[in-house]
Amino acid sequence: YGIDMPTANELIAHGREVDEIRQIIGADGLIFQDLNDLIDAVRAENPDIQQFECSVFNGIYVTKDVDQQYLDYLDSLRNDDAKAVQLQNDLESLEMHNEG
């Protein structure tokens, strides 16, 4: 979708309870807004908006071709660990080129 976003596994809230997240970010409290409430709040400001893209929140992509298998594949390519391995490979390749 053209945006370099972290994978789900890299997000601070992934696999954590609300209190854990609160402690990690140093907040006194933490609440989450329900998606329907967010949609209602946006519509209250502009009633002409009937629908907008919420895939980052609900996993329903307008292209209809994104599923968990695809997201897992992207995770394997894009997460920080994969990037570190690629960087190391690039550096090793550069060193071999410079030695020759």
The pLDDT of residue 57 is: 85
Look up residue 9 and give its DSSP letter: G
Rounded-to-integer distance, Cα 49 and Cα 61, Å: 18
- Three-class secondary structure of residue 50 per DSSP: coil
**Cβ neighbour number for residue 66 with a 10 Å cutoff:** 15
Name the pLDDT band for 20 (thresholds 50, 70, 90): very high
Name the pLDDT band for 100 (thresholds 50, 70, 90): low
Tokens matching residue 81: 């660990």
The pLDDT of residue 35 is: 93
Tokens matching residue 84: 């570190």
Give the tens place of pLDDT for each residue, 26-82.
999 999 889 999 999 999 999 998 888 888 888 888 888 888 898 888 888 776 676
Rounded-to-integer distance, Cα 8 and Cα 32, Å: 17
